[in-house]
Amino acid sequence: QVQLVESGGGLVQPGGSLRLSCAASGGIFLTFAMGWYRQAPGKQRELVAGISTSGIINYADFVKGRFTISRDNTKNTVYLQMNSLAPEDTAVYYCNFYGAGSAYWGQGTQVTVSS
């Protein structure tokens, strides 16, 4: 069965950086788009960044220039490098793999930006 395992969340001060990773197992994901979403308390889950199978990337306006998404198909892993973090980036971050009519989600990793 497909499993997505996230890592890299934590507590960071404003202006700091974190790198999230999401590793998938139980399948072949070359034809899957990958993405990161986040959900803050009391808010809906929102797209942060996505990367297609051909490497086309899109970012939410609120992270442009600060976050970078990348993927390593040899490791079935998607990354999110987050720089210049701000308190409003505090949320649970989820990875998502989508393809072949199926969507898979990670369990979520907490990112807290606070001094």
Which pLDDT belongs to residue 12?
A: 98
Whole-angstrom distance, CA of residue 11 vs CA of residue 9? 7
70: β partners: 79
Q: What is the mean pLDDT of each run of 10 residues along the chain (115 residues)?
A: 94 98 90 96 96 95 94 95 97 95 94 97
Write the CB contacts of 110 (distance below 8 Å, at least 6 apart in sequence). Answer: 9, 10, 92, 93
Kindly report, residue by residue over 55-71, the tens digit of the pLDDT: 999 999 999 899 999 99
Kindly report, residue by residue over 84-96, the tens digit of the pLDDT: 999 999 999 999 9
> For the chain, percent helix, then strand, then coil, each to nearest 5?
5, 55, 40
Write the CB contacts of 44 (distance below 8 Å, at least 6 apart in sequence). Answer: none
Residue pair 76/23 in contact (Cβ under 8 Å)? The answer is yes
Write the CB contacts of 54 (distance below 8 Å, at least 6 apart in sequence). Answer: none
**Burial class (CB within 10 angstroms; exposed 0-12, middle 13-18, buried 19+) of 40:** middle
Which pLDDT belongs to residue 64?
A: 84
